Amino acid sequence: MGQLHAIEIRGFAFVPAQITIAPGDTVVFTNRDSAPHTATSESGLFDSGRLGNNQSVRLSFSARGSYPYLCAFHPRMRGMITVA
């Protein structure tokens, strides 16, 4: 089961950019920009794929650790999910 945590993508940023969740929790990424974005793991562990305006994707995390990610289209957009 686990909890749901929302991360919005807006203004070419992940909001919030850093989040700590528990094992088994799910993160919902929603793109509020008109430009497409992704949430792509730096180490290849997950990839939202292309998110258009108002599209969402759910990603679940089971293993503890730190998961840095970025937008594949705009690599200066960065975020961090910590599973603790």
Minimum distance between the CB of residue 77 and Cu ion, rounded to whole angstroms?
5
Output the CA angle 29-41-26, nearest 5 degrees.
40
- Decide if residue 78 touches Cu ion (CB under 5 A): no
- Which segment (16-24, 39-47, 49-57, 64-72) binds Cu ion by CB under 5 A? 64-72
Q: Yes or no: say if 28 and 4 are a contact pair by the CB < 8 Å rule.
A: yes
Per CB under 5 A, the list member of 14, 29, 37, 39 interacting with Cu ion is 37
Minimum distance between the CB of residue 37 and Cu ion, rounded to whole angstroms?
3
Alpha carbon distances (Å) from 44 to 10, 39, 66, 73: 23, 11, 13, 15
Minimum distance between the CB of residue 43 and Cu ion, rounded to whole angstroms?
19
Q: Yes or no: say if 58 and 68 are a contact pair by the CB < 8 Å rule.
A: no
- Decide if residue 48 touches Cu ion (CB under 5 A): no
Give me the residues that bind Cu ion (CB under 5 A), please: 37, 71, 73-74, 77
